[in-house]
Structure 1
Amino acid sequence: MSSGAEKPRAASSASRLAAFDYAGLALNIAGVVAGITIWWVLTASGAVGLPRPPDVLSRFIELAGNGQLLRDTAASLARVLAGFLLGVLLAIPVGFAMGWYRIARALVEPYLQFFRMIPPLAIIPLAIVTMGIEETPKIFVIFLASFLASVVATYQGVISVDRTMINAARVLGARDFTIFRRVVVPASTPFILVGVRIGLGSAWATVVAAELIAAQSGLGYRMQQAQLYYDLPTIFVSLFAIGILGLAMDRALQAIERRLTIWQERI
């Protein structure tokens, strides 16, 4: 009888979750429509000196039609992915080593805290002087921004693991490697994924700044060129492209996070 009663409750919970997802999507769409409406009203009334939505849409169609938007988007996206993935792939093992081994923590932490206090954007002039004006300095500063955000989150996740769980595993006879794999890694995964999401935002912010300083392509470069001619619609198109790409990548990371932390209770 109890199992039969649990099935309707489980189905009811699933239906409520689905209803919540649809409601959240509807609210997202409503918020976007409201924002565009307010933007349209303000620009039509002359209250703000911004281009109207139809002007931005027209420029988007023009840039998409001649392939310029696709080329700039591809250039920026390639830089972000290269620097971001390199940063995350190095940050996770370094963060685990710092959190698990005191010697590694003592050796690495001073450098980590030092470079955290220096904005990655301040490294751009030095990177250009030492690495040239090709892709290497741009990818390096993106790597640095992503690495610093992800390594701190990973380190914090490891040292935040409940010592009671580790001690209980030791009492049951688990070795260090088993404890690390079965206790530390799962418990620190939410911290790691939060750091990865922060690193993704830092990567996009850094690539735009890098392209503003030294680039011949990319969305940041396109905004700089549009600024010279006071071409606000082109600037808006580039901003929207960055925002939409960043949002899509962040949603993908959220989906991965939900899959990897399915055991975690959520509000």
Structure 2
Amino acid sequence: MLMINIVAVVFGISMWALVTAYGVVGLPTPLAVARQAVIQAQSGLLWSDALASLGRVFTGFALGILVAIPVGFLMGWYKVARAIIEPYVQFFRTIPPLAIIPLAIVTMGIDETPKIFVIFLASFLSSVVATYQGVISVDRTMINAARVLGANDFTIFRRVIVPASLPYIMVGVRIGLGSSWSTVVAAELIAAQSGLGFRMQQAQLYYDLATIFVSLISIGILGLIMDRIVMAIDSVLTAWQEKL
């Protein structure tokens, strides 16, 4: 599988080089992007931008997941909580997190707080629905069987609901992670002085396509690494589940 991944990446880069070599589109060549990446890495600019974006994404994403999972369990387990919370969740899901940016600036200022809040909102809304869906999708037969065996509500929740919901939760975590990275560029519009999204916006002013590509590729690589970490955690937590 790893070899297929490598071949696919090499093929993609080759097609990119072929397209730019014949001037089909006005994109920088892979070599030009690589040179710019080396220049930024040697100056330390690439590492500082990557760390700034990574810190914002990780903080907002972690907070979103930490809040989304218990809220999702609460919505799925208690009908009264579901009736109270679900309208708010569905309401805010229809509003793109990027549309919250002006409100975040006015109410939270222009420091790190609004940036992290927008990322938090994106990851929370993606994950809470997956957790909720996982709870309500648990086979009632397993719950009834646990009750027949004398299990109380807490034991059922801990030994039946949580394990059975984990596949859904991990899917929500992966979606939340993707939402966090897709939001960080817009979040760094908020008076940022560093970050991959900030660097792209600065490069746009000077039509510096190579720098834009360096930031885009860096975001993709960091997001891919974090996604693979989540998948590794998922494989451990859901080892009991049969997968293709």
Q: Residue 194 of structure 2 aligns with which residue?
A: 217
Q: CA deviation at 1:213?
A: 4.5
* 2:135 counterpart of 1:158: yes
Q: CA deviation at 1:26?
A: 0.6
Matching of residues 38-77 of structure 1 within 5 Å: 38-77=15-54
Q: Residue 184 of structure 1 aligns with which residue?
A: 161
Matched-pair identity in %:
73
Q: Residue 9 of structure 1 aligns with which residue?
A: none
Q: Residue 217 of structure 2 aligns with which residue?
A: 240
Unaligned runs of 5+ in 1: 1-23
Q: Residue 124 of structure 1 aligns with which residue?
A: 101
Matching of residues 20-99 of structure 1 within 5 Å: 24-99=1-76
| C-alpha distance after superposition, 1:208-239 (max 9, x if no partner) | 11113531111011000001101000000000
Q: CA RMSD in A?
A: 0.7
Q: CA deviation at 1:35?
A: 0.5
Q: Residue 109 of structure 1 aligns with which residue?
A: 86
Q: How many residues are matched?
A: 244
Q: How far apart are the structure 2 equivalents of 1:68 and 1:168?
A: 59
Asked if the contact 2:105/2:190 (under 8 Å) is kept, the reply is no
Q: How far apart are the structure 1 equivalents of 2:32 and 2:184?
A: 26
| C-alpha distance after superposition, 1:185-220 (max 9, x if no partner) | 000000000000000010011111111353111101
* 2:156 counterpart of 1:175: no
Kindly name which structure, 1 or 2, has the bigger radius of gyration based on alpha carbons: 1
What is the TM-score normalised by the length of structure 2?
A: 0.99
| C-alpha distance after superposition, 1:101-135 (max 9, x if no partner) | 11111111111111111110000111011111110
| C-alpha distance after superposition, 1:160-193 (max 9, x if no partner) | 0000000010011111111000000000000000
* 2:108 counterpart of 1:143: no
Unaligned runs of 5+ in 2: none
Q: How far apart are the structure 2 equivalents of 1:210 and 1:256?
A: 28
Q: Residue 254 of structure 1 aligns with which residue?
A: 231
Q: Residue 100 of structure 1 aligns with which residue?
A: 77
